[in-house]
Amino acid sequence: PEQWAEHVELMFDLQILALQADLTRVSSFKFGAQSNGSFPESGVSKAWHSASHHGNVPSAIMEFNTINTYRTDRMTYLLEKLKNTMEGGASLLDKTAVIWGSAMGDPNLHGHRRCPLLIMGKANGALEGNLHLRAPSGTPMANAFVSLLQKLGHDDIDHFGGSTGEFPLSFP
């Protein structure tokens, strides 16, 4: 498709079909493609990557925020489709863990601290949902992955990548 959003929705549709057909239980999709592309549908004509180097100029930060809001909003399509796709009495959203994040906490500096991470869905009841958890400063994102893998039944995993332990994915 010519439009980025249409391409994203097509890729999400293929992922959902693969889950429904039990062709896979793991799928990944990198939103980062087209880093030099622009997203005029967002209302900003700058390319995403150049907009990320905002120089801490408030108006440039807001432009980058507008582009990211547009891009992140595409997740709504996936989440709604998962929620409305039933499998064995439960929605695919209830049966799935959707992980969305970024390796950049401050793209202006290519900073890798305080990176955003969202885990959506209930992973067949392994996750509570409806939580906002803030990691203590310096906590590696990989700690959340250790805890997620353990909740998914991989009890023997005590480290992943650069993890330093676990990060509980439930209310304390």
Residue type, 10: L
Mean pLDDT of 92-107: 88
Backbone angles phi and psi of 13, in degrees to 5: -60, -45
Q: What's residue 33's pLDDT? A: 52
Distance of CA 26 to the CA centre of its chain: 14
Write the pLDDT tens digit of every residue in 9-55: 999 999 999 999 999 989 998 876 556 788 899 999 999 888 989 99
Q: CB 151: neighbour CB atoms within 10 A?
A: 20
> Which pLDDT tens digit goes with each residue over 57-71?
999 999 999 999 999
